[in-house]
Amino acid sequence: MKLLWPTHPYVRLAEDFVYLAVILDAFSRKVIGWALADHLEAGLAIEALDRAIAARNPAPDSLIHHSDRGVQYASSAYVERLARCKIAVSMSRPANPYDSAKAESFMKTLKSEEVDGKAYATLEDARLEIGAFIEMVYNARRLHSALGYKPPAEFEADLGRKIDPNHERPKPCH
C-alpha cells in the first residue's frame, strides 16, 4: 500500500509569522510529524519529516511523499533524506492547491479551531499550544466525516494499523 504524506509550510500568528511544517497520513488524516520555527529553512521541514519517519518507520519503497513546491521540500538536503529512506517524491502542480487539499483542510482547521484569536507570547508558547491541539484534539478527538466520524487515532486503531511497541521494527533510515 502506498501512503501519501502531504505537507504545508506556514501559519500566521497574532503579530508575526511562524512556520509550520506538517506531515499527514493521507489515509487516516493523522498528523504524524510536525515542527514549528521562526524560519522557513529546509531544517524545519526535515525536522517534521524525521518525526514522521520515527512515528511510522515506513518500509523502503512503500511511501509517496507529496508536498507543495516550496524550496524547503525541493532542497538537496530534504530530497536526499527522502532518497535515503527510499520514499518516492511527488510535488503539486504549479498554482494548484487541490493537489494538497488534505493539508489545506488541516491548516484551515488549525487556524479556525486553535490559532485565530490567540496571541502566543513566545515561539515556545506557540509550539506548546499548537502541539497540544495537534496531539490531544486533532489526532485524538476531532471527528472526520471521511473516517466514519472517528478521530484519526481511533480510525487507525480500529483498522489494526496501530503499531505494537513490542514489535521489532527495522532500523530508522536517518
Summary mean pLDDT of the chain: 83
In sequence order, the 6+-apart residues with CB closer than 8 A to the CB of 38 are: 16, 18, 19, 123
Above 50 in pLDDT, residue 126?
yes
Q: Across residues 37-54, what is the average pLDDT?
A: 91
**pTM given for the model:** 0.83
Domain membership of residue 95 (yes or no) is yes
Query: Which domain does 97 fall in, by range?
Result: 3-158
Domain membership of residue 62 (yes or no) is yes
Domain membership of residue 167 (yes or no) is no
pLDDT, greater one: 10 or 108: 108
Band (92; pLDDT cuts 50, 70, 90): confident
Structural domains counted in the chain: 1
CATH of residue 29's domain is: 3.30.420.10
Report how far residue 146's alpha carbon sits from residue 141's, in angstroms, rounded to the nearest whole number.
14
Above 70 in pLDDT, residue 53?
yes
Domain membership of residue 34 (yes or no) is yes
φ, ψ of residue 138 to 5 degrees: the values are: -60, -50
Q: Across residues 59-80, what is the average pLDDT?
A: 84
Domain membership of residue 26 (yes or no) is yes
φ, ψ of residue 19 to 5 degrees: the values are: -110, 135
Domain membership of residue 89 (yes or no) is yes
Domain membership of residue 166 (yes or no) is no
Domain membership of residue 73 (yes or no) is yes
Q: Across residues 154-170, what is the average pLDDT?
A: 67
Q: What pLDDT score was predicted for residue 115?
A: 87
Q: Across residues 110-136, what is the average pLDDT?
A: 90
In sequence order, the 6+-apart residues with CB closer than 8 A to the CB of 4 are: 26, 27, 64, 65, 66, 90
Above 90 in pLDDT, residue 47?
yes
Above 90 in pLDDT, residue 116?
no
